[in-house]
Structure 1
Amino acid sequence: MAELSILLLCACLAVLAMPIYLLSFLGIWEHFCEKFFFPYILEKICETHDRKSKPHKQELFRNLPNFTGASGELRLLEIGTGLGANFQFYPAGCKVTCTDVNLNFQRGLLRNMGKNQHLHYEHFLVAAGEDLHQVPSSSLDAVICTFVLCTVRSVDETLKEVLRVLRPGGAFYFLEHVAADPSSWKYFWQQVCFPTWKLIFCGCCLTREIWKNLEQAKFSELKLKHISIALPWTPIQPHIVGYAVK
C-alpha cells in the first residue's frame, strides 16, 4: 500500500512538473535553471533558510580562530560559495578563497562581499568540490561547505580533495541537509519529492546519508550532530552540523 501511495504521489508531482520535464528533454531547462531560475530561487529561499540556520552557524563557526595557522593568518576556502551567506560568520582578517561551479551568483556574491569588508578575498575559482586542483595541497587552515554536498557528483571524492588541501590539523566545517530516518514520514516525502526536486534544484539530492561519508573519511577527529531546521513545506528539515579535523 505504501509503495502504491508513493507511486501515485510521484505521478501527481510529475504531471505538475511536466513543463519542466519537457524543457529538460529538449535540453533547455538545465541552462535556464543554472543561469536564471536557480540563482533567483536560491536567493529567495536563502532569506528564510539563513534566518533559521543562523544560530547553528554562529555556534558552528565560533571556534574557527582556533585553527589559525603558524603564520598567524587564517586561510579558508569555501566550496560552493553561492551568494556568500557565510561571510558574516568568518573572523575579521581571515583570507578567503571562494569556489563555485555557477558564475551566475555573481551579483549576490558581490553584494555580500561589499557588506563583509572585514575579510580579505584572495581568489574566486570556478571549481567543483571533487576537483580543486588549482589549490595547493596542505595550504589551508579551514574548508567550509554548507548546503553543497547534496549536489556534488561524489561526496567521497569531495572529501578526499578537502583532506588534500587542508594542512595537518586543519578543519572541515559542514552544515548539510540529509536523509531522514527511513521509517519516518519525512523520508516518505523525500522519496516522493526526489525526482522533481532534483530537476528543479540543479541536482540537489534529498536522500544522501552524508554523515556516513564523513565517518568513513580519513579525518583524525569528527564532531557531528544531527539537528532539525524547521522549513515548512520542504523535505529538507533533517540536517547534520559539525567539523572534522585532518
Structure 2
Amino acid sequence: MKPILLSALLLLLALNGFAQQMQNDYFLGKNLICPPADAKDEEMLKLGIDCFQFEKYHPTATKIFTDLIKKDSTFCDAWFFAGYSLRIQGMVKEASVFYYMADSLSNNKSEVFKQNLATTLFMAGATKVARKKFTEMVQYFPQNPEGYYGIALTSLDIKDFENGLDCINKAIGKYTYNNQGAFYMKALLLTLTGQYSDGLHFLEKCKSQFKKDDNYNTAMAVCLYRTGGEKNDEKILKAADKAKAKVKQKDKVLPELLALLPN
C-alpha cells in the first residue's frame, strides 16, 4: 500500500498530533530535551521557532537550526526543529533524517520527537521503520494513543490486521474524545477481518467525515453485501449496490478490501 491510499487517515493522524504539540510549551522553546551550554544558542533556537509564524521565514528557520547543529551536533532540539521546519515546507524525506537524529540523541526521552519521526517516516513511505518507531512510542509512552493508532495505520500496509485491530481498540480507549479517524480505522480493520456487522456499526460512527472516501464506500459495500446476503435482505443488498457505485477510484482502495467486493 502506498501512503496516498489512506491520505485521509494519515492527515488526521498528523494533524491531530501536530495540533496538540503546537499547544505544548515545548513549541514555545521551553522544556528543552538537550539544553545547550551556551545560553545564546537557546535564544537563537527561540528566534527560529518565532520564524514559524510566517511562511516566508520558514527557510530562515531551517538555516538558524542547521547553523546551531553545526556549532553543537549534540543539540537534539535544534535537530528536531530543523526537521520540523523542513516538514512544514513539504520536504518529508529530508525532515525524517533530522527527526531521526533528534530522537537518537534524546535517548527516548521525548514523545514529541518520537511521534513526529514515526508519522513523518510514514508520510515518506518508510512504513516498516515507521512501525518500529510507533512501537517504541507504545513502549516508552504507553499513555499516548497515537503510538497505538500508528501501529494500526501501518498494519494496513504490513498486513497484520488482527494486531492493528487490537491496537486501534487500545487507542480508542485512551483518546479523551471521539476520534473519527480511529473509528474509521477500526471499521476498515473489522471489515478486513470478516467482522462485517461490527464494521457497519463503526462505519456509521464516522460517516459524516469519511462518506466520500473510496475506502469508506468500498468497506460499506462489502459489509452490506455480506450482512444482506446472510439475511437474504434485498433492501440491504440495494444499499450495498449504491455504496459500491460511489467508489470512484478503485486504484486508491486497499487491494485486500477491494478483493472482498463482489464483481
- Under a length normalisation based on structure 1, what TM-score does the superposition of the two structures give? 0.33
Larger radius of gyration between Structure 1 and Structure 2: 2
Structure number with higher relative contact order (C-alpha < 8 Å, ≥ 6 residues apart): 1
- Under a length normalisation based on structure 2, what TM-score does the superposition of the two structures give? 0.31
Q: Give the strand-richer structure, 1 or 2.
A: 1
